[in-house]
Amino acid sequence: MAGSRYEYVKKFELPDPLLPGTFMVLRVDGHAFHRLSSDHDFIKPNDERALQLMDRAARDVMNQFKEIVLAFGESDEYSFLFRRNTVVYSRRQSKILTNVTSLFTSSYVFNWSQYLPNTALKYPPSFDGRIVLYPSVKEIRDYFAWRQADTHINNLYNTIFWALVLEGGETTAQAHATLKGTSSSVKHEMLHSKFGINYNTLPERYRKGSILVREEVLQEAVLLQGNEATGDQSDGAARRKSQTKVKVRTTVELLHCDIIGDEFWDKRPNLLLY
């Protein structure tokens, strides 16, 4: 069927393919989440319910996009790593970015009442997204090391900051002034001496962030292969031969562990191969 005379407007659409053979990392960030957390009375410095909601939204994304092999989340952000050889949406940046960001956002809103059942959502949360391409395994490992290091730095600051405000009686302005220019070791000492908190014993979720990784699971399946006589021809009994075949499936696992060192990656040598 011939197109209409208006079809020429399609020529204004520009192709936006992402460079092939590169690693693709898509990061979503909450928009104005400082206000959102305040307006909805999130627990400070960490609200377990809100973090679990972020994990749920990220898991829904990974369940939909099988090409995502790894995700890392902290606070109001999540980073998704696609297989190096993915051709999802023909690697069109706009299609990938809008679909993942919109799915993450809709899942966050859809599941809100499950994780914060006593907190009515006052207005629609939103997330922005970006895609960055990296050329090699080194940059990918450094990227996730950077995000986990950022998790630790932010959480250490927030932990002592809110201790000063909620337990120490300081205003937010005074707490910021107290912490200005302090090193990590000083923050650790302040937590321990003033509030009896050993930072290293706090939940790893807060200190290390959330890791969603696509793991391979081996399953044994019994396959039946036709009939074979039992040897007792008089009663005509027969039995089936069977053999065991190993099948591989994947599942998305949630971890709170170190991703900077070698152990995580050494246990998953195929994670960054394809």
3-state helix, strand, coil in the chain (%, to 5): 45, 25, 30
Do the annotations mark residue 75 as ligand-binding? yes
To the question of whether residue 188 is assigned a binding role by annotation, the answer is no
Residue 32 known to bind ligand? yes
Nearest to 92 by CA among 58, 57, 126, 131: 131
Q: Is 192 annotated as a binding residue?
A: no
Q: Which has the closest alpha carbon to 72: 13, 148, 7?
A: 148
Closest CA to 108 of 181, 52, 161, 182: 52
Residue 221 structure tokens = 């399946």
DSSP assigned state of 104 = H
Do the annotations mark residue 76 as ligand-binding?
Answer: yes
Q: Is the distance from CB of 46 to CB of 156 less than 8 angstroms?
A: no
34 labelled as ligand-binding?
yes
Structure tokens at 188: 């650790």
Sign of the four-CA dihedral 95, 100, 102, 103: positive
- Pick out the residues of the known binding site: 29-34, 75-76
- Pick out the residues of the known binding site for Mg(2+): 29-30, 76
- Pick out the residues of the known binding site for GTP: 29-34, 75-76
